[in-house]
Amino acid sequence: MVSKHKIEMVLTWYQRGYDVQLIAHHLGLDPRAVQDILRQAAQAAKQRPAQPAGKAEPPEFSDRPLWEGERP
């Protein structure tokens, strides 16, 4: 069983371009375990709904003033 911290390290290091063999060596894991972690993360990413890209839509324009009365 691999700890959650090591799983996060595997994913982070792989995203930064480290080789599977190097990650396995530094974390004291079997290379097959590292490949399984990466495979499971890829499957989980496919199952998650896609996040909307870019910024959120701006609110609609309103003619109503933001304040009541005279400005100071």
pLDDT in tens, 43-66: 998 887 666 667 777 777 777 777
Give the position of tokens 């799983």.
7
Q: Give percent above pLDDT 70 in the chain.
A: 86
Instruction: Specify the pLDDT at position 25.
Output: 96
Do the beta carbons of residue 54 and residue 37 sit within 8 Å?
no
pTM > 0.85: yes or no: no
Give the position of tokens 């290091």.
13
Do the beta carbons of residue 36 and residue 5 sit within 8 Å?
no
Question: Could you give phi then psi for residue 60, rounded to 5 degrees?
Answer: -70, 155
Instruction: Specify the pLDDT at position 60.
Output: 77
Distance of CA 37 to the CA centre of its chain: 15
